[in-house]
Amino acid sequence: MYHLVYSSRAVHPFSKEELINLLTISRIANKKTGITGMLIYMQGKFIQVLEGDQQKVEAIYKKIQDDPRHKQISKVLVGNSPERIFNDWSMGFKNLSDLDFISLSGFKDIDSFFIINPLTEETSMVLVFLKLFYDKNLADYPEMIQR
């Protein structure tokens, strides 16, 4: 299974409504093309994993590169996995804890995700990278830790 991980910065901070809209549109488009993955948005930074057919994944990445809401877009990791890492399209918004997101299909609480999927020696580099990104942002922004 081909995967691509990229990071970017939002041109401006996304509002709750913009994030819900992004989630809704992405889920519809990705379901049609058989793309799965995860998007994390923290403090104006995105990191996203896309997985599926290589041509379709690369086409989505090209659209993201052309999206005026993103800047400083960088491919971080590309490769193949023996199987899908994410069985459904999911987005984690650590800085938003409203129940509106939980009720949306595909939302996963990022803390729970990493508790359920702990890193081991066999863990995909994709998940290792996501976990490092997540942990670094929590270290940089300790106020985001829910108590």
DSSP codes, the chain: -EEEEEEEEESSPPPHHHHHHHHHHHHHHHHHHT-EEEEEEETTEEEEEEEE-HHHHHHHHHHHHH-TTEEEEEEEEEEE-SS-S-SS-EEE-TT---HHHHHSTTB--HHHHHHHS---TT--HHHHHHHHHHHHHHHH-GGGS--
pLDDT of residue 109: 63
pLDDT tens, residue by residue, 112-143 = 767 777 777 776 777 777 777 767 666 554 55
pLDDT of residue 106: 55
110 touches 94 (CB < 8 A): yes
Domain coverage including residue 29: 2-144
pLDDT of residue 44: 85
Q: How many structural domains compose the chain?
A: 1
CA distance 147 to 114: 17
Cα dihedral sign, 107-144-6-17: positive
pLDDT of residue 24: 80
pLDDT of residue 147: 40
Residues in the chain with pLDDT values less than 50: 92-101, 104-105, 141, 144-147
Domain CATH number, residue 137: 3.30.70.100
pLDDT of residue 26: 83
